[in-house]
Structure formats: C-alpha cells, structure tokens
Amino acid sequence: MASLRLKGVHAVVTGGGSGIGAAIASALAAEGVRLTLVGRTSQTLEKTAVELRAELACEVHTETADVADRQAVDAAFASARAEHGPIGILINNAGIASSGPFADISTETWRQTMAINLDALFHCSQAALPDLLAAPAGRIVTVASTAGVRGYAYIAPYVASKHGAIGLTRALAIEYARTPLTVNAICPGFTDTGIVETAVAKIQTATGRSAEQAAAELTRFNPQKRLIEPVEVADAATWLCLPASRSITGQTILVAGGEVM
C-alpha cells in the first residue's frame, strides 16, 4: 500500500495529460497529493483525470492553458488554487521537440521551442513561487533531458532549450537555498513516449529503415540498449518531492541507463 507521504499537498503538473507528465501525476497521486493537470488539449487532460480518479480515488483538477502564455498561466494557477489550495509542488514537464539540420531551422521553430521548453519554466515557476516559498517543503521539479547536459545533432533548438532549463534550475536552487524550497531537474534519455514515436516515424520516412531499425538509432545512446519507461522518470520525480529529499537541490538527475555525458 502507498504510504501517502505527500497527503494533501497540491501538485501542479504541466503537460500532465500524457507520457511522462501523466506518469508523474499517477506516481504523485499514489502518495496522496491533490492534482492539477495543465495542458493545451482538454480531452487528453480529462481522459487522464478520469483514469486517475478511477484507479487511485484521487482529487484531480484540470486546466487547459498554453504554458508559454503568461496570462494563461496566471489564470490557470489561480483557478488551481481556488480548487485545491496553495501549490506545494510544481512539475515543469510540458515540452516539444523538432528535428532537422541547423541551417534549415526557421526563426518560428526556434522561438516556439524556446517558448514552451524554457519560457514556460519562467512563467510557471514565477507564478507558483509565493505558494512554494510559503509551503513547508516546496518543490520544483523540471523534466529536462540528457540534451540538457550534452549535444545531439539535428535537434539544436531542443538542446539549447534544455541547457537553459538546467541553468534556470541551478540558479533558482542557489537563490532559494536558505528556504524550504528545493529546485531540481530530471534528465531522461530517450523515453517511450509520443515524442519518441514521432522521432522514430521521421527516421523511417527519411531513411527507409524499419521501425525497429529506426528505434535502434535512438536506443544506441543508452548502454542498456532500450528506451526509458515513463514510470522510471516518475519514480525519480516523486523521490525529489518527498520531505526527506530536502537536501537534494540544484541537481540534474539522469535517468538514462548509464549514458555517458
């Protein structure tokens, strides 16, 4: 049985309707949190909320918002507070990825990637900050990527945005080190989510390889030669949110099967 170590804490999860975000939401719900799932697609959010309520009998609220839009974030967080009270945990998970040669990247693609993968961290962290500082054990956990600590070809905007996410994590951790707030990042390797499915399909189209061969192009980075499972990332995120993890701050936790940086 779950120990409910986070019972009653209000956790906001961006990009919480699917993939890693949904896995983190489930893991936190099993520890007793009250959830707010934030994302751009209401149907996806509601589907996940229904499943969580049925499986874990938890309190789940959803907010449809573009986390790259500060006014939308402020409105969504205000509504979340009205539903579940002050925010004690913020999971910055929403993100996008695009691929292509650097020379072909448009300004629009660059700005969109930065807006969702980096600007949104600023918006959400700042919007939740008063609550987090007032909480007994406030937590910010950002889902970054191994792309935040190393380079990969053909995904320059993604790599740059995730390096920025790591930098912001470290800056906030130092700035608020004398408070109960901790700020950390998790860096998954290639994970079995919709983003990787899209990447595999793109490799297939570009190279004529089979799905298995295309997936191998991504898993070759992982010494374990497999995709990371979303639940593995969720377990790491949950650990960082526990009161007992109060000395863990400013860290980048790699969930990547031993991938060398």
Considering the candidates 152, 154, 158, 176, report the single residue annotated as catalytic. Answer: 158
Neighbours of 106 (CB within 10 A): 11
Distance CA 216, CA 237 (A): 27
The DSSP-derived string for 74-134 is: HHHHHHHHHHH-S--EEEE---------GGG--HHHHHHHHIIIIIHHHHHHHHHHHHHHH
Pairwise CA distance, residues 24 & 90, whole Å:
11
Measured on CA atoms in the order 36, 73, 144, 89, is the torsion positive or negative? Answer: negative
Q: Is 158 a catalytic residue?
A: yes
Give ∠ CA 26-62-78 in degrees, rounded to 5: 120
Edge-first strand order for the sheet with 34-39 is 60-64, 34-39, 10-14, 89-92, 139-143, 182-188, 252-255
**Of all helices (H) and strands (E), which one includes residue 46?**
helix 42-56
Active-site positions read 158
